[in-house]
Amino acid sequence: MAKGRGFAGGFEMRRRVILLGPPGSGKGTIAARLKTEFGFEHFSTGHLLRQEVAKDSAVGRQVGLFLERGELVPDELVLALVESTLAKSRPEQGYLSDGFPRTLVQASAFDAWSGTRGLAIEQVIYCESSEELVLSRITGRRSCVACGHVYHALFVPPKTVGRCDECGGGLAQRADDSEAVVRRRFQVYLRETEPLVAYYKDQENLTVVDASQSLEKIMARIEVMLRQ
Ligand code: AMP
């Protein structure tokens, strides 16, 4: 595939990027680092959906139960949300997705949407992680209720306990981060989302990252990969 290039920090870099991997594999943390270090436009469908629930919007009322149970929200709703989100941003300058696509239907719909606009995905980063690692990470995870920035009590603590470094919002544990729901989300991931690894491998734009490594090692590898 021809690689279009954006520009970041004086060096060329791939700017249309998908983060793929199970819940708790570090996608949100990686996305936040790519945003602060290289100015990526980041979106997380999980965060967007939680915002809809918090607003008690029409979409929020439809999706609340799916989120609580750790099940996937229907494809049509997610695709409409992603399209309206990208329409409000500047996808031609790049996009960084955390948590989308999550099904083959979403992946092929996004390929069609992005392909017709000359905005095809340039890099899929697959954060490979075991169920046990995911569980140990998620129990320490805290997210900003206002902006969605993700912290970890041990690995990525905020500067002030309970407060977001980015916006000063309060930090909380997500309702769906309990062990039982995380185990269910992992099963849903294996069934619905893991097939995307083969899908993107076939498109030759997938790179595997070992999510058990330190964040610094992972970021160094990702930076090299995005500049290739
Ligand atoms: P996340 O914050 O990415 O872990 O997502 C939290 C929850 O939002 C998931 O367990 C799903 O219920 C829902 N969700 C997020 N992204 C998607 C998606 N692309 N497709 C379907 N459901 C999603």
Going residue by residue through the chain (228 aa), what tens digit of pLDDT does each one get?
334 444 444 458 999 999 999 999 999 989 999 999 999 989 999 999 999 999 999 999 999 999 999 999 999 999 999 999 999 999 999 999 999 999 999 999 999 999 999 999 999 999 999 999 999 888 888 999 999 888 988 878 999 999 999 999 999 998 888 889 999 999 999 999 999 999 999 999 999 999 999 999 999 999 999 998
User: Does the beta carbon of 134 sit less than 6 angstroms from any atom of ligand 1?
Assistant: no
Q: Look at the domain 16-227 and name its fold.
A: Rossmann fold (3.40.50)
Pocket probe mutation, ligand 1, options 49, 68, 105, max atoms within 8 Å of Cβ: 49
Length of the chain: 228
Residue 103: DSSP 8-state: S
Nearest-atom index, ligand 1, CA of 102: 19
Bridge partners of 43, per DSSP, are: 97
Rounded Cα–Cα distance for residues 186 and 130 (Å)? 9
Check residue 43 and give its pLDDT: 94
Binding site membership of 73 for ligand 1 (Cβ less than 6 Å) = yes
Distance from Cα 137 to the centre of ligand 1, integer Å: 17
Tell me the C-alpha distance between 16 and 215, whole Å: 21
Give pLDDT, residue 4: 43
Predicted TM-score (pTM) of this structure: 0.88
- Ligand 1 centroid vs 19 CA: distance in angstroms? 13
Cα–Cα distance between 125 and 196 in angstroms, integer?
11
pLDDT at 10: 47
CA distance 133 to 136: 5
Angle at which helix 104-116 crosses helix 75-88, to 10 degrees, equals: 30
CB 158 within 8 A of CB 164: yes
Does ligand 1 lie within 6 Å of residue 113's CB atom? no
**E strand or H helix at 134:** helix 131-139
C-alpha–C-alpha distance, residues 112 and 116, integer Å: 6
Residue 128 has what DSSP assignment?
E
Residue numbers annotated as active site: 27, 102, 141, 174, 185
Burial class (CB in 10 A: 0-12, 13-18, 19+), 118: exposed
